[in-house]
Structure 1
Amino acid sequence: MKIAIVANDSIESQTVKEKFESLIKESALTIDQMHPEVVISIGGDGTFLSAFHQYKDQLDSVCFAGVHTGHLGFYTDWRDYQLEELIEDLQNDDSRAANYPLIEVEVSYSDGKETGKFLGLNECIIKRNDRTLVADVYIKDELFEHFRGDGLSVATPTGSTGYNKSVGGAVIHPRVNVLQMTEIASINNRVFRTLGSPLVIPSDEWITVQVEPADDYFISLDQLNIPQAGLKEIRYRIADERIQFTGSRHTLFWQRVKDAFIEEYKD
């Protein structure tokens, strides 16, 4: 089995990476950073997102596992003192423990330049830097609402536990193949009206957000910033691709939610 390793720059993560590489050399596994079968992230959820984006073009042939070296990570199943167990698990288990839906984001521009398509694991957020976001929201190409507020978040089920949750969105199990749109501080008065509630969209529908001409939009997809100059509209849908996880320790989703948000953290 070919393994790639993505670690953050912290001293602890780099130390764990060196130890893990030594253990791999003593095993039947090999290191292949270009064309791996399994990608191991070492760090936290931010490192895992970086690993996903680094290998998102190989999703049909690669799966992921995570080692966390700090606070408990939502995507990371292994601790830094369990590397030997992880090696054994990888050698003995070639099954895919779970697979999760992804978001496809298509960005169109008013100047006619080429449309950009992006793939995300968690969520896509659109805001304006210092002004209210004004946008028309369409569902399956039919106008749903005229939005005014700080911004909009469109999240996958796994992304529902991130920024989406902090702005009042629901936590959704990743077996439910949907997107969730959550308003960020929407304006609701006698002049401006929006739904004001999170919206869950099935996999055979899509969301389109058309915006006013401006050059001060801020669009983020996971940890990435999307070019926004001349932005015309953004279309969100469930991607055809999915992310796959491996390993026997990939726990049940609700247990992960409980561990991340309810149980007191113990090192």
Structure 2
Amino acid sequence: DDEKSEVTKAVENANKDEHGKSTLPDGTEITVGDNGNVTITYPDGSKNTIPGDQVIEGKSDADKHEPTVPGGDKVKVDDPNKLTDDEKNAVKDKVDQANPTLPDGTTITVGDDGTTTITYPDGSTNTIPGHDLVTGKTDADKYPLNPGQAVDVVDPNHLTQAEQDQVKEAIRTANPTAPIATITVDAAGNVQVTFADGSTTTLQANLHKHVTEATTGSATKPGAGTNGGQTKGAMATNQTATKQQTQQHLPQTGDQPATWAMLSGLGVAFLGLLGLKKKKRED
């Protein structure tokens, strides 16, 4: 019925003057048969017939199928005006997946700019513009970031400014050809890299491991190398050295009183012997 109504409107429009007024007499009726034949019945009962093949034609496959543009992200390509064979195949696969009811024998071809033509078995075609299917790659797409050498930090959850600067330098060093504009690092070690074209890449500290907690003894402690920062080993060494020095000085310092006492005792004994000899002579 909808198709018959469309045929009726088409015949009515074909019989209007330049001002849009019908040239058919008032009271004229237009009927459309199942085969598309059109009968025009005038008020006096006379009729005209228009064969169906002059007013209708069968729909082509292209008319019957409205192509679906693939949803989600477009295919990212290096040059939107000159797709590679691999990029064309990627576009073709997406269009094919988005249109699972295409008739058998349908072909899909992708042009250099991504414009895709769907050709049906009857030769009719539908076209999807390339800009609906592809997009140029950004710097972030072209330069996957290497997080670089992991930076040892005292507290991975509270990086100091110096540690944040070390992370920035490690990323720049690991990505020498990337057109990096700016790098920001927060206190938790998360990194956002902004490229020259404005695209961005984020590196989360818990996923990319570009920040690690320093192991015990690997970081210099405050005061190391000063009197207040000696280790137990250093203290033990100093104590040993002091003890050895003390022992070396004993004969010159601490042993002097004992030496004088020994000499005094010998003198007293000598004098006693002299006195004994003198007494024997007198006897």
- TM-score, normalised to structure 2's length? 0.21
Is the strand fraction higher in 1 or 2?
1
Is the helix fraction higher in 1 or 2?
2
- TM-score, normalised to structure 1's length? 0.22
Larger radius of gyration: 2
Higher relative contact order (CA 8 A, sep 6+): 1
